[in-house]
Structure 1
Amino acid sequence: MNLLIMGLPGAGKGTQAAKIVEKFDVVHISTGDMFRAAMANQTEMGLLAKSYIDKGDLVPDEVTNGIVKERLAQEDIKEKGFLLDGYPRTIEQAHALDEALKNLGITLEGVINIEIDPAKLVERLSGRIIHRETGETFHKVFNPPAEGYDEKDYYQREDDKPESVKRRLEVNIAQGQPIIDHYRAAGLVHDIEGDQDIEVVFADIEKVLSKLQ
């Protein structure tokens, strides 16, 4: 099976990806892992990516696309199939992926799209607080400190503040929607309700993937 997994930050994509890989024995390809492996193995694209990263520059799309193509051409993908996680991030990358898969003779069979109301994700992502003295992390709703805790003893990172979280989600929605539309037009998207217990979400994914097998 050759799959993509998509969803906004905080939707539980990483958790579900790990479960899919374990249950269906496909190769998990995440962008970060790919970059690290390409640089460690000193592949042509890995060395090119390193030259940008070392200068503190953003890695251009053509290099990212090249690293993905290099990875998809490897033997384990032919044997097991893949679950691509964290790519494509833009519609241009989606078109590049289409082209790479076509050139490699690989068919994309499904896109798992984990959906959660963005307002709920703001609550989920902006609830993180950190204890000033110990650095221990808590969540105001899901994992609060002891009852009656003093808020002055805790702080929030800038990234975790509601305004920052909303902005991050808005950017992700703007970038992600054209990609979802692109794959939906190809009949590949399977929407999964993400605001459920982790095991229930996975059971829904399992039903979809069992039909694709």
Structure 2
Amino acid sequence: MINIVLFGPPGAGKGTQADVLKEKYNLVHISTGDVFRYNIKNKTELGKKAKSFIDQGALVPDEVTINMLSAEVDKSIDTAKGYIFDGFPRTEAQADALQQLMDEKGTQVNAMIALEVDDEVLVKRLLERGKTSGRADDADESVIRNRIKVYYNETAILKEYYKKQDKYFGVDGVGSIEEITQRLSQVIDKL
């Protein structure tokens, strides 16, 4: 089983690459954003809990997020060849919780693969996406720059977490979709 944490700043192309890689390697793509939206929309118990925090402008506690991810993994654990985690973990505590979850499922995180993209390229990509996505946070350059800053200040620390385990791989995230997929595949094929 291959389990990958796909990582990178907003606009790096994680969602695009996750869609390609899940088909190529027959992996299950678990996007925490999608999992949150599904649980909230369907008013599951976990969705109601998450919504109560979101409505207050608070972060959803790790325990709620992990429980959602665990339920998502359980849906396909018997048939999956592995998972791509997109948008999680974001902190060391979450990384520890993900490892514990994987241990409980009899597997492990094999690699964190980070798409590395220059900030100015990210801003340009997100502004372009904002023209068609309808997402307000993709249409305002100052909001975009703040999202990138938050990523570096709060989330990029996981690079060191996975480096200590020899599981961190940085990949150039600039080029065509196919070129980037090829670079990612070179890492995955060695796992």
One of 171, 194, 197 as aligned partner of 2:176:
197
Where in structure 1 are there 5+ consecutive unaligned residues?
Answer: 131-136, 139-156
Aligned to 1:5: 6
* Cα distance in structure 1, aligned partners of 2:91 and 2:62: 9
Shift of 1:63: 0.9
Q: TM-score, normalised by structure 2?
A: 0.83
What percentage of aligned pairs have identical amino acids? 37
The answer to whether the aligner puts 1:186 opposite 2:165 as a matched pair is yes
Equivalent residues, number: 186
> 1:159 and 1:96, CA in 2 relative to 1: closer, same or farther beyond 3 A?
same
Shift of 1:184: 1.4
Could you tell which deviates more after superposition, 31-40 or 21-30? 31-40
RMSD value over aligned CA atoms? 2.6
* Cα distance in structure 2, aligned partners of 1:35 and 1:158: 18
Shift of 1:33: 2.5
Aligned to 2:105: 104
Q: TM-score, normalised by structure 1?
A: 0.75
Aligned to 2:94: 93
Who wins on radius of gyration, i.e. which is larger? 1
Aligned to 1:211: 190
Preserved contact between residue 130 and residue 138 of structure 2 (Cα < 8 Å): no
| Aligned partner letter, 1:193 | D
Aligned to 1:143: none
Shift of 1:49: 2.7
Preserved contact between residue 129 and residue 138 of structure 2 (Cα < 8 Å): no
| Aligned partner letter, 1:194 | G
Q: Helix, strand or coil for the counterpart of 1:82?
A: strand
> 1:104 and 1:199, CA in 2 relative to 1: closer, same or farther beyond 3 A?
same
Shift of 1:38: 3.9
Shift of 1:101: 1.8
Q: Deviations over 1:47-90 (max 9, x none)?
A: 43345456775432221122112222x15134221111111122
